[in-house]
Structure 1
Amino acid sequence: MTSTRTAPTPAPAADPPPALAVSHLVKSYSGRRVVDDVSFRVTRGTIFGLLGPNGAGKTTTLEMCTGLRHRESGTIDLLGLDPTALGSRDRNRVGIVAQSGSERASLTVREMVSQYAAYCEDPWDVPELLEATGLAEKAGARIASLSGGQRRRLDVATGIVSRPELLFLDEPTTGFDPAARREFWELIRELRRLGTTIVLTSHYLDEVEFLADRAAVLRAGRIVAEGTVAEIRRAHGTLSTVTWTGPDGPQARVVEDPEPLLRELLAAHRRLPDLEVRRPSLEEIYLGLVSEGPR
């Protein structure tokens, strides 16, 4: 009698390690916590947004994640390493575009990018990089002659010339007009398509909604919401406003479930032509999350 052996069921593939894992991060200035127990993870190949008003702790968080500022407590895993102990080779794996880039107004665009490329082990080909960032036609132009949007593209070019696995963008489109912002967004999405993981800070809701796969909303140094934009909307947009005009004039009531109220109103009134149910917009949800109040 021949016996058969059942092949063992293969173990499920382990999830790849995140590009960035932040756990219980704390930073204080003059006894005031500006980053207060912040934790989040960034999956490789995605865009993660840190969203919040000015002073929420976004830039300080980013600076600790990149090793530019020491943390008070907590842990940071940056591509498997501690950001405060990165060697020169490891630093080529990380790109940083700060809020204000280097001026060097007398240099040309090509000279500026070439200087940065000279410090990298395996840099992008400079003409190819200028083409990818929309600067090919400005290669010979002095930096002083560039528009704000073109300078920001140059900041990105110098930030990714080392072909980083992980790119940090700190409020990349502040001061842009709407058309320039949209053009810049397409550049960021193209970088993700090429495999770059991106962490960006912003106080523009539409920017994070358009770009980010996941986001965390910061208020006064703490994360008050995290997830996809759709998940944040579902979790924090549960209240509805029911409005109508009754015998005593215009009425409004905020409820979690509008159906019982609607049944009550329709049973009590033969006609309610002004009856309306409105759920909060994403902007209203965001403003409610970042408004100062009980934390």
Structure 2
Amino acid sequence: MPDDTMRALPASIDETIAMLGAEDYLAGRALGTVVFLALKMKRPLFLEGEAGVGKTEIAKSIAKALDRPLIRLQCYEGLDLSSAVYEWNYPAQMLDIRLSEAAGVKDRNAIEANLFSERHLIRRPVLHALGEPGGKPPVFLIDELDRTDEAFEAFLLEVLSDFQVTIPEFGTIKADEPPIVIVTTNRTREIHDALKRRCLYHWVDYPDAAQELEIIRRKVPNCPDMLSQQIVAFVQKLRTLQLFKNPGVAETIDWATALTELDRVALDPETIADTLGTLLKYQEDIGRVRGGEGERVLAEVKTELQAG
């Protein structure tokens, strides 16, 4: 049975937004609504958006706010069941076979029952997400699902539909209480409709200037206010330039932290050129912004902030 000390789920959309805000995640009304419904309806939440917009942080914030374990399955090309779900402890099984032979055990069924038992089962993230007896249902983060292949995606249908896994040699393992499932994708490929139908959906976009400024104030409280405003305005404009990879919120926070560590109080062309590696991750983008483009954007930022 689930742990009786679990924190109660939020009772309204406003409580959900406040819950995330208490963990320094600023959620708009639309995101707060879909998170509330996912918790209330016990449905997986499918989050799509560009890399760096904070999809993973949503799962982390929910886990912290509800005091649940966070189990993260980081997806990658070639991910298979032995890495994601389970595998058998083959060395221990071989040892048991030898011990049985030495003891003169002849009953093949008895040997097999011992080999494919709980003590030889190595649980990977998916099985851990289905919960341990007496434990709290965790938050299960399936991160960057679009990096896997369609075969693994198809396997997840059973997990997301019935919160169970069938192991041929062992049987079916089913969660006593469904985990809170968050699926994220950067949309490098389309996810099949069959999986999406099992989830509630939300597109996570870059924050607007006011939200991003508040994020900087919370995450980098020592950053001077004028510098924070310039950083946010500069980053917001960079995202309109069709760069190879737009800076995400995490990069904005890193840049603000770096500039604060360097005791800067305002942006200038030299400082921007020297620290672009904390904000942009592709040389083509850095070269473009380090030239006249960056100075032009900075001039626009200063003019607009002075006028505002």
TM-score bracket relative to the smaller structure: 0.3 to 0.5
TM-score (norm 2): 0.35
- Give the structure with the larger helix fraction: 2
TM-score (norm 1): 0.36
- Give the structure with the larger strand fraction: 1
